[in-house]
Chain A
Amino acid sequence: MTTYNQAQLRQPSSQGFLKSEDWWAVWLGFFISLLGAGKIWNLDILGWVSKYGTWLDLNTAIQANSQAFAALGGIGSAIATYVFVLAITTTGAYFMGTRIRKFVAGFTVIYWLTVLTNVLGNYAYLAATPSNRGSFGISWSMSLGELGFVFALIAGLVISNFFPKLAVFLSEAAKPEWYIKTGIVILGMNIGIQTISALSLASTVIVRGICAVVEAYLIYWPIVYFIARKFFKFTPEWAAPMASGISICGVAAAIATGSAIRSRTIIPTILASVIIVFVAFELLVLPFAASTFLTSEPMVAGSWLGLVVKSDGGAVASGAVADTLIRNNALTQFGINYQEGWILMATTTAKLFIDVFIGIWAFILAVVWSIYHLNDKNAATGSYSVSKKEIWQRFPKFIIGFVITFLVVFLAGAYEPQILKAVKAGAGQANLLRSVFFGLCFFSIGLITNVRKLWHAGLGRVVGVYVVALFGFIIWIGLFISWLFYHGIVPPVI
């Protein structure tokens, strides 16, 4: 087996523009972003990409994202997405020297298994949030958003641990680093458009939101990193993605940081799985706590949820729940009828700038890790200099792709506001393909993981750091910071 080896994960891969996974992540990310941008010229190029929705009726689980392609149906759009992603990844795999027949065969199985796990993860009783249960006519649900990724990971684990021959067969297409980096480049487009859209929000919320996020990140990150390194005995390779993921930013931050410092892909994936489980807990408890104790400070509550609930979907869902609960409480207790959406805006603003800050922080960590080789015990504890050329060689190029897609979309939106709506729609379409790449990554990680050994080796410690950090200071510092920046500010009254 040659495709998936540790040398590829640990060392800077081949540096040619057409030879390395890093650069191919950039090319694929650019290509998909460019197709999404077709919306600017009224070209619905990605309208056929599958959109997974929460479902009770299986027929509605997958749909083409654009009405123009509704005739494709769920299966048709899934096939179209498969053909497209297969074509572009096979092109990249060919130039990187992968055995194409085995890649195509393995990719096909992996893709369709992730479709299955995605559909399963969106089942209404598992995925519906408290705010959208009503639309499904159900009285309860587990609110486990993004569970499809966890199922993909589990499917990979099952195959890896119980069907070794199948695992070997699939391994040619199991390229978690490549998939996740491609997804992150595409993510740049989405964050860029969200940022420019947010600038139209109330300036007070924006300024205070940025301050709260920078403040929280600068304080949370070093504390979580220190605790993980000093007391839970994690290596820097684990501690950095853990600090980013656990502190405030969750799944995306763990993945981006892991890739930026070139950690093994298993690390951010395991962290992301733990984070997703904790998000479910946070989503179930924190909005109700906010509505009980922060009725008189609604914007503090919104910001707090944005800082503490660690996934984009979970944070927005918790903000929506809190928005409704707090407005109802305020009306009942004080006779004040707050305008809808402002509490949610505080949550989404915090989350948005967290996502922007992830890019900046990942860049800083990438430079530090490139120079000091902190993932390598011998190199990190030794003293030797490193040339600028080597720093460049070790620098994860996909970060450049992420920054470029972010800046292009941000600047285009800033200078040409009339294209905003179209770019937003295009970014949304590209984002669907990002989810596909993330799903492929999670499955691929499962495929290389021996869960029993992992648990014995200390997975429990990851949960330990999370619990200590969350209940020890993240909730409380987040509350203090939110109070500092938002206390006394209330939504407009109707």
Chain B
Amino acid sequence: MDHSTVNASSVYYEEIQHENSVLEENQWFDLQPIEKKLCAYSLGLGILFLFVCIVLFEVI
């Protein structure tokens, strides 16, 4: 194996290592305020919309 092949292979596998590191727990960090806000708004809108639909389709 010549030098260029060795070099290409090592770069390739460094990239693979990096790509596969995404599942590791040590990269985890707690929910950020914007994530909480996104979830809260989505769920809040969903529940609000649920009541609106119940009123529209069941009551009226």
Contact = CB atoms under 8 A, between A and B. Distances in A.
A237 interface: yes
A215 B46 contact: yes
Nearest to B11: A1
A416 B4 CA distance: 59
Q: How large is the interface on B (under 10, 10 to 19, 20 to 34, 35 or more residues)?
A: 35 or more
A408 interface: no
A450 B45 contact: no
Contacts of A238: 22-23
B58 to A, nearest CB: 8
A235 interface: yes
A214 B31 CA distance: 24
Contacts of A389: none
B16 interface: yes
Contacts of B18: 6
Contacts of B19: 6, 9, 264, 266, 448-449
A234 to B, nearest CB: 7
Nearest to B1: A165
A171 B34 CA distance: 37
Contacts of B28: 233-235
A266 B17 CA distance: 12
B17 to A, nearest CB: 8
B34 A211 contact: no
A225 B20 contact: no
A160 B17 CA distance: 12
B19 to A, nearest CB: 5
Contacts of A381: 29, 32
Given A215-B49, A218-B42, A223-B43, A450 B20 contact: yes
A238 B53 CA distance: 32
Nearest to A230: B31
Nearest to B32: A380
Contacts of B34: 368, 372, 374
A134 interface: no
Nearest to A486: B57
A350 to B, nearest CB: 15
A485 B27 contact: no
A222 B39 contact: yes
A164 B23 contact: no
Contacts of B5: 165, 168
B43 A218 contact: yes
Contacts of A331: none
Contact of A461 (B13, B23, B50, B57): B23
Contacts of A211: 49, 53
A423 to B, nearest CB: 32
A372 B32 contact: yes
B39 A168 contact: no
A449 B46 contact: no
Contacts of A453: 17, 20
30 contacts: A1-B12, A4-B15, A5-B15, A6-B19, A164-B13, A167-B12, A208-B57, A214-B49, A218-B42, A218-B45, A219-B43, A219-B47, A222-B39, A222-B43, A225-B39, A234-B23, A236-B35, A237-B22, A238-B23, A267-B22, A368-B34, A374-B32, A380-B32, A450-B17, A453-B17, A454-B20, A457-B23, A457-B24, A459-B23, A484-B50
**Which 5 A-B pairs give the minimum distances between C-beta atoms?**
A218-B46, A222-B39, A457-B23, A219-B46, A222-B42
